[in-house]
Amino acid sequence: MNAPKRCAVIGAGIIGTAVARELLQRFDGAQVTLFDKEDHVAAHQTGHNSGVVHAGLYYEPGSLKARLCRRGVSLLQEFSAEHDVPYEECGKVVVATTTQEESRLEDIYARAVANGVPGVKMLDCDGLAETEPNAAGRAALHSPHTAIIDYTAATEALARDFRSNGGVVRLSTSVVRLQNKGGKVLVYTTHDVEEFDLVIACAGLQSDRLARRSGEEDDPAIVPFFGQYFILDAQFDDAVKGLVYPVPDPQYPFLGVHVTRRIDGGLMIGPNAFLSFSREKYRGLGFDTPDALSIARMPGFWKFASQNLATARREIGGVLSTKKFVEEAAKLVPNLTGAHGKRADRGIRAQAMRRNGELVDDFVIQRRGAALFVRNAPSPGATSSLAIAEYLVDEASQ
C-alpha cells in the first residue's frame, strides 16, 4: 500500500499509544489521531497491573508472544532510559515446591532458553537461598533481568512524545464502529465521523465489541478475569530482593499469586485470577449486568467453566479472604505469614476465548481492508507494547 496520510488508532493504553507513536515515526508527513473514550491515557489494563517487565520465560518458542516479548523488553528499556521512566532490573525466581512442579520448571527453563532469555539458570535449594534468602522451595528458575516499571508513566511519556511530534490525542471520545469504504476507513464516534487511510484498533477490554460493531465476527470474544492485589505494610518492604513466583498451572493462562516488588519500593502480592462480572469496574463488588449477561450468553464459557471447577474452588478462597490470599504468598516466602496491608484496586485482564471454550494463548491480530483489529493482547502485552507497535505497522505496510 502507499504510505497512509491519515491514520487513526483506537485505544490509549500502552499498546495503542505506542502504535500511534510508531505510525508517526514510520510515515513521513502522516497525520495520526489517537482516540480513547476516557479522559486520560492508561485508564484500564495498563494502569491496573503489577508493573512487571516479563523476560519471556513461559511462551511457546516461535509464537508472537515469545518473539515480541524479547524485542519489547529491549525497546521498553531504551525508551525508559531516554524518557526518565522508572525502570529497575530486580530479577525474578520461579519457585518449585513439589517434585511435580520441578518437572514443570524444567519445561519452563527449556522454553526460556529457546526464547533467548538472557542469564536464565536453574537453582537448587542452596542456590535459591543464596539468590532470594527468604524464599522457600525445592528448586527455582532465576531470571536476573526481569524488571519492574511504572506502565502508566511509560504510557504518559509515549503520549507526550507523540503529541510533541504533531500527533493528535482525542480523549473523552468513544469510537462506536469502523467502516471500510472505497479503500478508506470511516471512524464513527459519539461526536462525529472521520475518514482515514489506515485504522488500527487496540481496544483491549472492548476489542471484541468494537470488532462486532464494525462487521467482524464474534470469535474470539473477550472474557474478563479480575486479579486482586494486596499491598503489604512498609515493614515487609525488604522481605524479598526481587520477584518471587510459583510454578504456573499449565492448564490455566495465569501465573498464580506472586510476591512483587513495586517501582516505588513497596511490596505487593497478587494477583489471583477469577471471572470478572464487569469489564471496567475496579472497586466494590465489580458487577455490571450487561457484562455479566454477555458472559452467560457465550456457549464456550460454560464448557470452560465446567472444565475448571477445581481451579475456581482454589481461587475463590483468596477472593473472599485476605488471610487466604496472604497464605498463598507465604508458601513461597514464609516470613510473610500473617502479613498485614491493604487491598489495591483490582486489575481486569482481557482474555480472548474461542467458541469451543478454549482460551486463546497467543496474540491475535485480524485485518479487514485498511483496518487492523488487535483481538487478544494480554500479558505480556504491556512488556511487548513497543514491539507490537512495530509489528502492526509492518503488517499495515503490506
Distance of CA 77 to the CA centre of its chain: 17
Domain assignment present for 56: no
| Residue type present at position 300 | G
How far apart are alpha carbons 159 and 168 in whole angstroms?
Answer: 9
Q: Which of 76-90, 110-124, 300-314 has the lowest mean pLDDT?
A: 300-314
CA dist 41 → 46, 172, 180 (Å): 9, 10, 27
Smallest Cα–Cα separation from 274: which of 224, 234, 229? 224
Q: Is the pLDDT of residue 291 over 90?
A: yes
CA dist 158 → 123, 128, 382 (Å): 38, 37, 13
Q: Is the pLDDT of residue 317 over 60?
A: no
- What are the cell numbers at 360? 486463546
Dihedral pair phi/psi, residue 120, rounded to 5°: -70, 140
Distance of CA 93 to the CA centre of its chain: 20
Smallest Cα–Cα separation from 261: which of 371, 147, 126? 147
Note whether 326 and 343 are same-domain residues.
yes
Instruction: State pLDDT tens for residues 67-105.
Output: 999 999 999 999 999 999 999 999 999 999 999 999 999
Domain that holds residue 252: 222-353
CA dist 87 → 22, 84, 143, 146 (Å): 21, 9, 16, 11
Strand partners, 92: 143, 243
Domain assignment present for 243: yes
Domain assignment present for 380: yes
Note whether 18 and 165 are same-domain residues.
yes
Position of cell 471484541? 208
Strand partners, 124: 139
How far apart are alpha carbons 105 and 228 in whole angstroms?
Answer: 25
Note whether 342 and 375 are same-domain residues.
no
Note whether 335 and 370 are same-domain residues.
no
Domain assignment present for 368: yes
What is the predicted pLDDT for the residue at 222? 96
Note whether 276 and 161 are same-domain residues.
no
Dihedral pair phi/psi, residue 212, rounded to 5°: -65, -45
How far apart are alpha carbons 253 and 249 in whole angstroms?
Answer: 8
183 half-sphere exposure, CB direction, 13 A CA radius: 4
Note whether 344 and 375 are same-domain residues.
no
The answer to whether 1 and 27 have CB atoms below 8 angstroms apart is no
Neighbours of 302 (CB within 10 A): 12
Domain assignment present for 195: yes
Long-range contacts of 303-308, Cβ-Cβ distance < 8 Å, separation of 24 or more = 303/356, 303/357, 304/223, 304/353, 304/357, 304/358, 304/359, 305/275, 307/357, 308/251, 308/252
Domain assignment present for 97: no
pLDDT average, residue stretch 310-319:
62
The answer to whether 79 and 85 have CB atoms below 8 angstroms apart is yes
pLDDT average, residue stretch 136-142:
97
Position of cell 493528535? 168
Note whether 165 and 41 are same-domain residues.
yes
Instruction: State pLDDT tens for residues 189-203.
Output: 999 999 999 999 999
Note whether 228 and 324 are same-domain residues.
yes
What is the predicted pLDDT for the residue at 253? 55
- What are the cell numbers at 12? 490509549
Note whether 158 and 211 are same-domain residues.
yes
Position of cell 463488588? 285
How far apart are alpha carbons 81 and 61 in whole angstroms?
Answer: 28
Instruction: State pLDDT tens for residues 367-380.
Output: 999 999 999 999 99
Instruction: State pLDDT tens for residues 338-391.
Output: 999 998 888 999 999 999 999 998 999 999 999 999 999 999 999 999 999 999
| 227: CATH | 3.30.9
Position of cell 505506542? 18
How many distinct structural domains can be found in the chain? 2
| 380: CATH | 3.50.50.60
